[in-house]
Amino acid sequence: MSDGEIIGLGYVGVRTAALDDWRGFATGLLGLQAQPLASGLLGFRMDDAAQRLMLRAADDDGVDQYGWEVRDAEALQSLAARIERDGHEVIAMSPALRAERQVRDGAWTIDPAGNRLEFFHGQARADTPFAPGRPILGFRTGSLGMGHAVLNVGDIDRLLPYYRNLLGFRLSDYTLRPFKAYFFHTGPRHHSLALIENDRPGLHHLMIELSGFDDVGQAYDLAQLEPGRVAATLGRHSNDHMTSFYIRTPSRFLIEYGWGGRDIDPNSWQACELQHGPSLWGHDRDWLSDELKHEARRMRLAAAAAGERAPLRVSPGA
């Protein structure tokens, strides 16, 4: 069992056939800072890290890599050794790859679902302050990582031992209805990774957390100017308490744009089954079938009838 080498989600690399659409979307709506990189690559900043979201022009859409941050060289070594002992190949990053990722050192492997996972330490800091693409307070990152990634997988039970026992992700909670989803933490962020079971493998959504509540509301206004841009209405999650909405990106995955996620104490946390589904209110998901939409709505109304509510986490000025 891991001693918790993974700190959080450090970066995500995406390949896309719509790189030009991404630039205006990521800066003008999300508020990221564009950071042109080598030819064919486009990086985006969310904070003082040199890059968080990396895009590569391609003929198709998908995720190239998930970058998980570890504490230091020792943590990288022990995690890599454990993965290898379990029979999975781990490849050290070449100097060229380290330079492209802007990390001191790293290694990568492929998970049983075919996702490329990179582990790294020493992410480069930018030499200029973060300059958001639209006026926002900024993003809540630091030791919490850049947010969370939620992956669609065909069979959660097949992946649980890999992520939990081998990589050391700790179960936060899970829900079985209206869909099966498992949530995992690496530190105080309630989840940095979640798995949703369905037959459309790939990244379901990437959550980025805003420092200011009004930043989310203003993005909600902006997103509604474009037909089809809002994929789930404003709502609040029952487990991480995030108030958020879901945005359709120029690629196939969604961005959850949130505020007010709770902090948990990983040392005392007890995993449980969510009894009222994933949302306390809102989050009407346009990608669900009519039947599942109906069930999700019924569960939210039951949560409301039971008086379910959660405290707010508010930072000064946010």
Q: Can you read off the two tokens belonging to residue 154?
A: 């065909």
Least distance CB 57 / Fe ion (angstroms): 27
Smaller CB distance to Fe ion: residue 82 or 285? 285
256 binds Fe ion (CB under 5 A): yes
Least distance CB 205 / Fe ion (angstroms): 6
Q: Can you read off the two tokens belonging to residue 198?
A: 């369905």
Distance, in Å, from the CA atom of 280 to the CA atom of 303, rounded to the nearest integer, reads 6
Least distance CB 258 / Fe ion (angstroms): 7
Stretch that binds Fe ion, among 92-100, 112-120, 249-257, 280-288 (CB under 5 A): 249-257
Smaller CB distance to Fe ion: residue 118 or 256? 256
Stretch that binds Fe ion, among 83-91, 175-183, 199-207, 220-228 (CB under 5 A): 199-207
11-44 burial by CB neighbour count: b if 16+ within 10 A, else e? bbbbbbeebeebbebbbebbbbbbbebeeebbbb
Stretch that binds Fe ion, among 14-22, 180-188, 221-229, 253-261 (CB under 5 A): 253-261
Smaller CB distance to Fe ion: residue 215 or 256? 256
207 binds Fe ion (CB under 5 A): yes
Binding mask 42-81 for Fe ion (x = CB under 5 A): ----------------------------------------
Smaller CB distance to Fe ion: residue 23 or 236? 236
111-122 burial by CB neighbour count: b if 16+ within 10 A, else e? bebebebbbbbb
Q: Can you read off the two tokens belonging to residue 272?
A: 């449980």
12 binds Fe ion (CB under 5 A): no
* C-alpha distances out from residue 75 to 6, 13, 100, Å: 8, 22, 21
Cis peptide before 178 (omega within 30 of 0): yes
Strand-pairing partners, residue 179, are: none
Applying CB under 5 A, the residues found at the interface with Fe ion are 207, 256
